[in-house]
Every structure is written in structure tokens, then in C-alpha cells.
């Protein structure tokens, strides 16, 4: 059957290509006396992590096995990010290294996907400087991975399949979770906010919400498979529901998800302050399995900079939300994102950011120096501070965040909290590592058989940004 004659249902179409790849891996195994292996490296956000799980699931279903290191792989996939310039440079650096690897192993297939592939000029640079790449695709057609990889294997030539806009949401394809006990779940894709510094709307496309019934179905299946915690994912989960008929808001969806039996913990990100409603705060406060943690990006504490960033709220708006959250959910932990060195920012603006950090008392923050992204409005704005001034401002902001976070982590010392045990401690294999609902890390003595379960741990002492505790059985 010619590939263009395959039935229209996209899920069925991709399952057929997975079957075709399965036949290829079977023949490969018989010929080489070993199963072909793959290695996936993910750059960027949790949306990318979830996309990588989907592509790993497709490869597993197709008969490939996961390799521990790149050197053992027959297929190497980089799932890329383009939010900051250093992410691009990392990928180009790795591609340079892979040139020598492929010279020694001509059968190696090098694949690139993700946001960086949607960025203007990237494809031409890869074609010119990295012709050893075999397959390039973007953010809108990840579900076609099996088809695209099969086409590359069949044709022997570089395949480039980049779409400039989103199409359908394809459900029910394989996925391979990194953890057996927790999972990300996409509830929407794309972004309509167009913050002036951000490339995401250009590479991820406009907002598209999944149908509530499909989200509920996926989470129910995950809980049956032993998942205790889900992270609801979207570029701005607070605007979930736009375009759905009938309309369902994010608070309504969250309430329905919270009602799923055996689902112990629910987290979500990312949240935009302009869309965070009182209804959402009420659902968080009234649902025992919605974690007392919210990541709410601030970006700047200056009204002038927020306006230039096109963020659609003021510092007072943000602080009012913080007050509502802390009044309704006293134990809530609030984390944030902050950019320093935005074009036009001054020392006075950084003073405003430092001030709001102290007032909000964040439990933690991802703090970045502004990274220019070509194609965004901010890229053409003049920078008003020197590099030295920007980095001095960054250090001041970071120090303030660290001070407030250290203060916040003290508040639960002495309390016994439920901890989802995630792994053995990296430095001491007699200890386990997990997280309380507020997402703070806890290390404690325990048997590895507890990994994946929720146990009560007394938080004995705070060490900077984590706890040392004692398991209470």
C-alpha cells in the first residue's frame, strides 16, 4: 500500500508506520545479531520532556531499545529548545562532535526536532554546515516521527519536514515515561501571549486545547498504571479552553481531574498572572490532591519594563494575586521566573524587582540574564546598561531570591509532611530523595523499595533550599 493511500485517521496512519519500522528493526536484528538502539537528549522545558517521552514510546513500540550513551546508539535524537541563545549553541556544538562519530559509523541516523527547528535561518544553517544530519522536523508534527524516520530509512536521503503552523492534535500514540509513578500530561499547545522577548508563540504556534474527555481518559489510564502524580502542561494553562465547544475553563478542568480516584497529586505549569482567576485559587484551596505550589512567572518588578515586555499586568496586580493565594492557601509555595537586563531596563527597574521579591517572599526563582531572540520585538530594542551593570544587577536579584527562599524553607522545619519518594540520593545511596507538596526536595534515610510511594517524613532541618528528614512509618 502506498503511503499516500493510507487511511485518513492520523493515529491509525502513524500506527501503520510504527508497524513498518518494526519490520525494519526485526530485519536489522536478524542481520546484525543485535537490536538497533536509540538515544534521546532533551533540551528545554517540561513540554519538551513530555514530547521526548512520546518519541521514545514510538521508538520502543517500533522495536528499538534505549541506549545508555550516545556511542551505543544507531539513532540519536536531539529534541531542541530555542528560548535562550545558549540552547542553540549547545545543539550546534553537539552536531559538530557527531560529525566525527558519523564518519566512524556511517549508518548512524541523526535526528533533530523541537522549537529550534522552527526558528528562522536554522534549517539553512544545518543544511550548509551539518549535512550529516538525517532527519529534521519541528514542534507541530512530532506525532509523525515514525513516518518521517521510515521515510529517511527508505530513501537514504535527508528528510526535512517543518510546518509553519499547527494542525490537528493526535491522540493515543505510544509514550514511554521517564518515571513509573509520575507523568506530564499536555492539556494544551501553543501560546497567544506574544511577550516581546519570547520566541515561543512563533515556534509553538497558537493556543490549542485538548478535549477534556481525552485529558481525563489519559490521566485515568495513568493512575491505573501506578502513576500517583501528574503535571498538567501548557505554555499558559490558565488560558486553557479557548476554542473548545462547549467552553471548559482551566478551573473546571482542574476540578474534574481532582475528582479522579487514586490520583494523589496534581501540579500544573506554566501560569500567566493575567489569566489567573479567583476560581482557580478556590479549586486549588478546596482540592486535597492539588499541590500547594504555584509557579507564577513575574519576569520583572518594574511596571515600565512589564509594559515593554507586553505582560498585561502591573506589579500591584501581581502582588494582589500573591496575597489572595497566601490568604486562601496558607502553606502555598510560590516560585517564579525573573529576567534581568531586558532592553531599556535601568538600575531603578532592578530596584523595583528586588523590592517585589522581598514583598512576595518567593520560595524559589529561575533567574536569567536577557537573551536576544531574533524575530521578537525586543530584539530590536536598545539595551541601556553595560554587561557589567547587567551582571551586577543579576547578582543582586539572585542574592535577594536566595535570601527569601532560605527564609521560606525554614517555615516547615519540625513538621511531618507527605513526601513522594523519587530516587536514591545521588551522593549517599543509604538515603532517598523526594518532594513535599510544595515541591521542596527532602533527603532522608530509607529503603529503595519506597521509591514511587508517598511516605510521611519529619522535616528535621533545612539545609539551604532542601530538607533533611526522618521517615515516619
pLDDT, tens digit (0-9, with 9 covering 90-100), for 423-456? 999 889 899 999 999 999 999 999 999 999 999 9
Total count of residues recorded for the chain = 473
Q: In the predicted model, what is the mean pLDDT of the chain?
A: 94
For the record, the C-alpha cell of 209 comes out as 486545547
CATH number of 178-285: 3.40.50.170, 3.30.70.20, 3.30.750.210, 3.50.50.60?
3.30.750.210
The answer to whether the CB of 44 falls within 8 A of the CB of 78 is: no
**How many Å apart are CA 76 and CA 112, to the nearest integer?**
8
Please indicate whether the domains covering 178-285 and 292-411 agree at the CATH topology level: yes
Q: In 3D, which of 33, 80, 32, 35 has the Cα closest to residue 55?
A: 80
Cell numbers for 434: 523526594
Q: What is residue 1's predicted lDDT score, i.e. its pLDDT?
A: 36
| Rounded Cα gap, residues 94 and 126, in angstroms | 12
Q: Over the stretch 389-428, which tens digit does the pLDDT of each residue have?
A: 999 999 999 999 999 999 999 999 999 999 999 999 988 9
CATH fold of 292-411: Transcription Regulator spoIIAA (3.30.750)
Q: Which pLDDT score, from 0 to 100, does residue 3 have? A: 39
Residue 457 predicted with pLDDT over 80: yes
Name the band, by pLDDT with cuts 50, 70 and 90, for residue 204. confident
* DSSP classification of residue 299: B
Which is nearest to 251 in space by CA: 211, 296, 286? 286
Nearest one of 382, 312, 363, 320 to 466, comparing CA atoms: 363
Distance, in Å, from the CA atom of 433 to the CA atom of 455, rounded to the nearest integer, reads: 11
Query: For residues 144 and 88, which has the higher predicted lDDT (pLDDT)?
Result: 144
What integer pLDDT is reported at residue 88 of this predicted model? 85
pLDDT (average), residues 363-376: 94
What's residue 41's pLDDT?
95
Domain boundaries, the chain: 3-161, 178-285, 292-411, 413-472
The predicted model gives 286-305 an average pLDDT of 98
Nearest of 318, 353, 313, 341 to residue 193 by alpha carbon: 313
pLDDT score, position 45: 85
Output the CATH code of domain 413-472.
Answer: 2.40.50.140
Q: Where are the beta strands (DSSP E) in 326-414?
A: 333-340, 364-369
Residue-wise pLDDT tens digits, 225-242:
999 999 999 999 999 998
Higher pLDDT pick, 375 / 216: 216
The rounded distance, in Å, linking the Cα atoms of 186 and 307 is: 30
DSSP string for 168-189: PPPPS-----S-SSEEEEE-EE
Any idea what the Cα angle at residue 173 is, between residues 170 and 177, rounded to 5°?
A: 120
User: pLDDT by residue (tens digit) across 306-360?
Assistant: 999 999 999 999 999 999 999 999 999 999 999 999 999 999 999 999 999 999 9
Sign of CA dihedral 316, 319, 321, 327: negative
Question: CA-CA distance, 311 to 323, in Å (whole number)?
Answer: 20
Fold of 3-161: Rossmann fold (3.40.50)
Closest CA to 250 of 288, 274, 228, 276: 276
**Dist CA 266 CA 253 (whole Å):** 12
pLDDT for 5 equals 41
Q: What is the mean pLDDT of residues 182-203?
A: 93
Amino acid at each position: 500500500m502506498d503511503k499516500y493511500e493510507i487511511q485518513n485517521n492520523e493515529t491509525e496512519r502513524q500506527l501503520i508506520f510504527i508497524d513498518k519500522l518494526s519490520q525494519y528493526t526485526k530485519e536489522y536484528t536478524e542481520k546484525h545479531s543485535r537490536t538497533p538502539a536509540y538515544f534521546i537528549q532533551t533540551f528545554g522545558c517540561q513540554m519538551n520532556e513530555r514530547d521526548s517521552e512520546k518519541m521514545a514510546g514510538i521508538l520502543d513500540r517500533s522495536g528499538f531499545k534505549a541506549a545508555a550513551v550516545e556511542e551505543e546508539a544507531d539513532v540519536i535524537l536531539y529534541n531542541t529548545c530555542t528560548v535562550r541563545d545558549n540552547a542553540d549553541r549547545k545543539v550546534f556544538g553537539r552536531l559538530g562532535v557527531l560529525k566525527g562519530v558519523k564518519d566512524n559509523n556511517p549508518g548512524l541516523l541523526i535526528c533533530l526536532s523541537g522549537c529550534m527547528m522552527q526558528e528562522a535561518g536554522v534549517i539553512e544553517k544545518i543544511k550548509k554546515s551539518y549535512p550529516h544530519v538525517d532527519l529534521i522536523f519541528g514542534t507541530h508534527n512530532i506525532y509523525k516521527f515514525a513516518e518521517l524516520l521510515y521515510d529517511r530509512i527508505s530513501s537514504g536521503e535527508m528528510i526535512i519536514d517543518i510546518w509553519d503552523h499547527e494542525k490537528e492534535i493526535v491522540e493515543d500514540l505510544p509514550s514511554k515515561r521517564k518515571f513509573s509513578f509520575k507523568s506530564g500530561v499536555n492539556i494544551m499547545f501553543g501560546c497567544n501571549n506574544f511577550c516581546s522577548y519570547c520566541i515561543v508563540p512563533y515556534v509553538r504556534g497558537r493556543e490549542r486545547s485538548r478535549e477534556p474527555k481525552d485529558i481525563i481518559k489519559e490521566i485515568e489510564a495513568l493512575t491505573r498504571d501506578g502513576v500517583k502524580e501528574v503535571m498538567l502542561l501548557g505554555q499558559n494553562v490558565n488560558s486553557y479552553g479557548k476554542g473548545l465547544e462547549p467552553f471548559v475553563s482551566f478551573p473546571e478542568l482542574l476540578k474534574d481531574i481532582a475528582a479522579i480516584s487514586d490520583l494523589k497529586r496534581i501540579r500544573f505549569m506554566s501560569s500567566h498572572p493575567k489569566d489567573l482567576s479567583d476560581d482557580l485559587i478556590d479549586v486549588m484551596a478546596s482540592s486535597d490532591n492539588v499541590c500547594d505550589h504555584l509557579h507564577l512567572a513575574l519576569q520583572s518588578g518594574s511596571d515600565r519594563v512589564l509594559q515593554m515586555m507586553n505582560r498585561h499586568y502591573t506589579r500591584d496586580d501581581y502582588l494582589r494575586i500573591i496575597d489572595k493565594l497566601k490568604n486562601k492557601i496558607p502553606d502555598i509555595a510560590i516560585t517564579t521566573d525573573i529576567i534581568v537586563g531586558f532592553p531599556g531596563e535601568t538600575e531603578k527597574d532592578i530596584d523595583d524587582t528586588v523590592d517585589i521579591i522581598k514583598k512576595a517572599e518567593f520560595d524559589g526563582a529561575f533567574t536569567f540574564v536577557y537573551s536576544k531572540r531574533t524575530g521578537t520585538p525586543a530584539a530590536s530594542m536598545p539595551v541601556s546598561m553595560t554587561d557589567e551593570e547587567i551582571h551586577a544587577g543579576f547578582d543582586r536579584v539572585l542574592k535577594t531570591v536566595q535570601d527569601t527562599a532560605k527564609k521560606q524553607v525554614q517555615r516547615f522545619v519540625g513538621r511531618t509532611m507527605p513526601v513522594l519518594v523519587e530516587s536514591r540520593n545521588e551522593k549517599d545511596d543509604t538515603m532517598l530523595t523526594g518532594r513535599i507538596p510544595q515541591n521542596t526536595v527532602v533527603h532522608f534515610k530509607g529503603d529503595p523499595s519506597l521509591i514511587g510511594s508517598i511516605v510521611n517524613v519529619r522535616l528535621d532541618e533545612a539545609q539551604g533550599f532542601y530538607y533533611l528528614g526522618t521517615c515516619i512509618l
